[in-house]
Amino acid sequence: MNGRAADIYVEEVMTKTPIIAKPDMTIQEAAKIMRTERVGSLVVVEGDTPMGILTERDLVDKVVAAGKTPSKIRIKDVMTAPLETVGPRESVADAATKMSKMGMRRLPVVSKGHLIGILTENDILRISPSLIEITREWAKIKKPGSAEESGTKVISGYCDNCGAFSSELRAKEGQMICSDCFEQWG
C-alpha cells in the first residue's frame, strides 16, 4: 500500500468484520467472546446500528475493580457510550489523530448509521508505524502544562500544514509542522 496515511482511506485498512455484542448480554458472556475471538473490545449493536463499545478497560474499571459480578451485569450498564465513530472515506491520518485526541485505541467505522468495520491501532500500525508514535506524541504535547507552543518537541512524520515528510516536526498552534512551515509561521 503506497502513499502517505493522509492519502489512505479508513475503509482500505479497517477490520471488516468487527466482533459485536448485544446490549442485554452479560459481561461474563462478553468476556468469553472477547477471549475466544482474541479481541480487546466488542461493538455493541442493536440490529446493525452501533450504540456503544465494550472494552477491556470497561471490564477492569467498571466491573472487576468495582467488585461487581460479571454474570449479573449487562453490557448496556457498563459499555462506553455514546459511541465515537469514523467514516469509511476519512483519511487514516485524520482517524489516528481523532483516536489520539480522545485517548482511544479503536474506532468503529460507520456508514449511513450502520456498522461496517472497526479501525484499530494495529490496523494503522500495519500501514504506517510512525503514525501511531506521532499521534501519541501529539497527545502528550497537547496535555495541560505541556510545551505545546514552544516548538521544542521534535518528532518524525508528515507535516499537518504542507503534507511533506520531515524528521523534524514541531508543535505549533495545535499542529505538527515541519521546520520550513515552522519558520514561515514565525
Instruction: List, for residues 30-51, the tens digit of each pLDDT value.
Output: 999 999 999 999 999 998 789 9
Are 108 and 28 contained in the same domain? yes
If asked whether residues 24 and 80 sit together in one domain, one would say: yes
Backbone φ and ψ for 158, nearest 5 degrees, come out as: -100, 135
Average pLDDT over residues 120-131: 77
**96 and 170 fall within a common domain:** no
Q: Are 40 and 87 in the same domain?
A: yes
Statement to judge: residues 21 and 96 lie in one domain? yes
Q: How far apart are CA 144 and CA 55, in angstroms?
A: 26
Q: Which residues contact 166 (CB under 8 A, 6 or more apart)?
A: 156, 157, 158, 159, 178, 179
- Pair 9, 82 in one domain: yes
pLDDT greater than 90 at residue 110: yes
Report d(CA 168, CA 180) in Å as an integer. Answer: 10
What's the pLDDT at 172? 75
**Whether residues 65 and 149 fall in one domain:** no
Residue 10's contacts (CB-CB under 8 Å, 6 or more residues apart) are 86, 87, 88, 89, 90, 91, 92, 95, 109, 117, 119
Rounded to whole angstroms, the Cα distance separating 57 from 70 reads 14
Let me know if residue 42 belongs to a domain. Answer: yes
Helix runs in the chain, H state only:
10-13, 27-37, 56-58, 75-78, 92-102, 121-127, 129-142, 179-185
Q: CATH number, domain at 52?
A: 3.10.580.10
Q: Report whether pLDDT(53) > 90.
A: yes
Kindly state whether residues 108 and 150 are assigned to the same domain: no
Which residue in 181, 152, 148, 155 sits closest to 169, CA to CA?
155
- pLDDT at position 71: 96
Report how many domains make up the chain.
2
Helix, strand, coil distribution of the chain in percent, nearest 5: 40, 25, 35
The answer to whether residues 75 and 167 belong to one domain is no
pLDDT at 184: 78
Q: What is the pLDDT of residue 133?
A: 62
20 and 44 in contact (C-beta within 8 Å)?
Answer: yes
Kindly state whether residue 105 falls inside one of the protein's structural domains: yes
Residue 90 lies in a domain: yes
For the ranges 51-60, 73-82, 99-108, the lowest mean pLDDT is seen at: 99-108
What is the domain extent for residue 22? 5-117
- HSE at residue 151, side-chain half, CA atoms within 13 A, is 12
**Domain for residue 127, yes or no?**
no
